[in-house]
C-alpha cells in the first residue's frame, strides 16, 4: 500500500510505502544493522523488556537529522539503562558509527535500514521517490506495543520532542 502525499519535502508531496504505524498497535518487526566493533543487527524483539524510543531520520548527513539525534541523545541521558533508544536511517552503518563517535552520541544506538529496507516498508516510513526514510518518532512499551507514533508531515521539520519524551516517561 502506498500513501501518496503522506509527507512533503520543501512543500512537495511525497509517497510513503506501507501502512502507517499508529499508537495502540503491536510494533511491526524489523531488523537494522549497526557498527560497533564489527557489524551487528538489532530487531524489534531485541527491544522487548524495556520501554523504547525509535527516532527515524532521512540521513545523519543533514543538519535537521543531526539536531534530532543530538537532542534525543541529550534528553535521554538521564534515563540511562532503563530504556532502549535507537535512531534509524538508510545511511551505511559505518557512516553512522563515525557520526556517533564525532558527536559523542552515547545514549542511543544507531541502526541502518540500508540492506533490506524492512523498517521503512513495515513501519510505513520509506519515501518512494527519494528512497530515504521519512522523519518520525515512535515510543514502544516494554511488551512491544506502540505507545506513541509521529510521522513528521514536512520532512525538513523537527519532530515534537516534548510529546515523544512525555510518552516515554509515562511508561517508566
* Catalytically active residues, by annotation: 65
Alpha-carbon distance of 112 to 87, in angstroms, equals 8
List, in sequence order, every beta strand (DSSP E) within 68-119: 84-89, 109-112
The dihedrals phi and psi of 40, each to the nearest 5 degrees, come to: -135, 170
Query: Which residues, other chains included, contact 145 with Cβ-Cβ below 8 Å and sequence gap of 6+?
Result: 24, 25, 26, 27
Residue partners of 130: CB distance under 8 A and separation at least 6: 9, 14, 58
Location of C-alpha cell 520509506 = 126
Q: How far apart are CA 151 and CA 29, in angstroms?
A: 18
Task: Look up cell 535507537; give the residue.
Answer: 86
Amino acid at each position: 500500500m502506498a500513501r501518496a502525499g503522506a509527507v512533503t519535502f520543501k512543500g512537495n508531496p511525497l509517497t510513503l510505502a506501507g501502512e502507517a504505524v499508529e499508537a495502540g498497535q503491536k510494533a511491526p518487526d524489523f531488523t537494522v544493522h549497526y557498527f560497533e566493533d564489527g557489524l551487528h543487527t538489532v530487531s524489534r524483539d531485541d527491544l522487548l523488556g524495556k520501554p523504547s524510543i525509535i527516532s527515524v531520520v532521512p540521513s545523519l548527513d543533514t543538519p535537521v537529522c543531526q539536531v534530532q539525534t543530538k537532542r534525543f541523545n541529550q534528553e535521554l541521558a538521564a534515563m540511562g539503562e532503563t530504556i532502549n533508544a535507537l535512531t534509524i536511517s538508510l545511511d551505511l552503518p559505518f557512516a553512522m558509527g563515525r557520526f556517533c563517535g564525532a558527536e559523542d552520541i552515547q545514549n542511543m544506538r544507531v541502526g541502518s535500514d540500508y540492506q533490506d529496507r524492512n523498517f521503512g516498508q513495515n513501519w510505513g516510513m520509506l519515501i518512494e521517490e527519494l528512497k530515504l526514510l521519512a522523519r518520525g518518532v515512535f515510543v514502544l512499551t516494554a511488551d512491544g506495543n506502540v505507545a506513541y507514533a509521529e510521522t513528521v508531515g514536512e520532512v525538513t521539520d523537527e519532530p515534537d520532542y516534548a510529546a515523544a519524551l512525555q510518552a516515554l516517561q509515562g511508561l517508566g
